Structure 1
Amino acid sequence: MKNKTSSLLLWLAAMMLTACSPSKEDKTKENGASAASSTASAASSSAPQTDLQPAASAPDNVKQAESVPPSNCTDLHPATGIDDLMQQIAEHIDSDCLFALSHHELETRFGLPGGGYDNIQRLLFPDIRPEDPDYHQKIILAIEDLRYGKRTISRQAQDALMEQERRLREATLLLIQGSQETRGQGEEPKRTRYFEVSATPAYSSRHNNGLGGNFQYIGQLPGYLKIHGEMLENQSLFRLSNRERNPDKPFLDIHFDENGKITRIVVYEKNIYFNPNLGRR
């Protein structure tokens, strides 16, 4: 059981540090700002998916922004694949409901299995609070202590880790929750929440290490996104803003690499890097 526990801890460390760390793109945009610690959360959905196969996309089905008013997310439904999931997100980008719902509730609406990271963290590290300004560093040290036997693992925490590993063996999409913070000189810190569309290793391997569907390469984006979004070439980024282009409302960022392959899809609660003099971050 010791070897099994060690492998689970290595997996946990990778997942937790990924959730807590800003992406390379975010680091270059922060101009000295520090990323806040983030936590991924939620229990498993009552309607888990196995392998979300890409659904047929309707490129000309323009059902977003100017044609769909903000809603309270009551029409969200279990996603049939990456294309259906992204269309639902895009249709609700004008609404605060994506962040008014708890992360668990959002996963449940989309029919995605929950991460359960918050529960695992509480079980493993009951003395470390997410609101602690040194949370990220303390988690790193705590994981090291676990690896070298300076901390013990309760049976309850061990069972939670085993269950989490079982879930991540399934081929499915995931929503990873997090938060970011920026501190301008002489200014109060600004914070935003986000959730990232991700996938289990089993799902990624079935889709050529990507998300599949119309979200494998940036050139494959469906029509409703191309019409309402904008390409920020200098940042290797495609952005879908809310209808009002209000920095205090949600927006969607799709990052891609030099080959045009999509590397990251993130929905932010608001734009904390917005520069009113430039009109965008």
Structure 2
Amino acid sequence: MPIQLKPTFREILADRAQAGEGRPLAGMWVSTGSPLVAEICAGSGLDWLLVDMEHGPNGIEGVLPQLQATAAYPPAVVVRLPGLLPVMIKQVLDLGAQNVLLPMIDTADQAETAVRAVRYPPRGFRGVGSALARSARWNRVEDYLTDGDEHVSLLVQVESEAGVENAAEIAAVDGVDGVFVGPSDLAASMGLLGQQTHPDVTAAVLRAVDAVRGAGKPVGVNAFDPAVADSYLAAGASFVLVGADVTLLARGSEALAARFRTTSGRAATG
């Protein structure tokens, strides 16, 4: 019996735009490597999740159970790879990731390589293994190879001064479905390490947002600071990441310690 896959991130953004819905897609990082945590986050009511292979302890074997754990929930799941690595891109797609984000894209040529890595020939060079792969549900998705491009959404990440300068050309590459701006590495490339809310960094992010929108593509931004996130949304960002599982756990556990260690100490001396 043929299996229907979930809509891609590209389709969700397009449907929202066509319906005239102004609210952007709000998401969070999933960085623990835990399928249980990923499932908890998937049931939160957020629009999308980002499983991070670049800075989190997520390898090929760890991504699969997270895709399985989140499959029954509404949010779109995007997998960020460690880099523009065609062999690993092929593996992640075969695991069933429908949406991938590739970091550190500085030029249109790199974006074109990214497009070719996620497309089957003749458009690209993705290896063919649908009978063996979860992506096609072991050939239970009807016409998966023929319609392969429809089942994969590609986001590229602009996070350097060069990337900002080339943002319009990157966004204009056919097959790039959206551009995600990363202020942290952008700040580092500008000599402002750790200062992602510095006015110069914010201005560079806004230039990238304008350039991508001018090319007719959706643009997203990472922004944990609510006030900064609001400014990017007002500038036209279509999707944002506003938190992370690991930071929620870190700050939440610190708050508990601050509250109850102090209380316990007063009670003990009393």
* TM interval, short-chain normalised: under 0.3
> Larger RCO: Structure 1 or Structure 2 (Cα < 8 Å, ≥ 6 residues apart)?
1
TM-score by length of structure 1 reads 0.25
Going by fraction, where is helix more abundant, 1 or 2?
Answer: 2
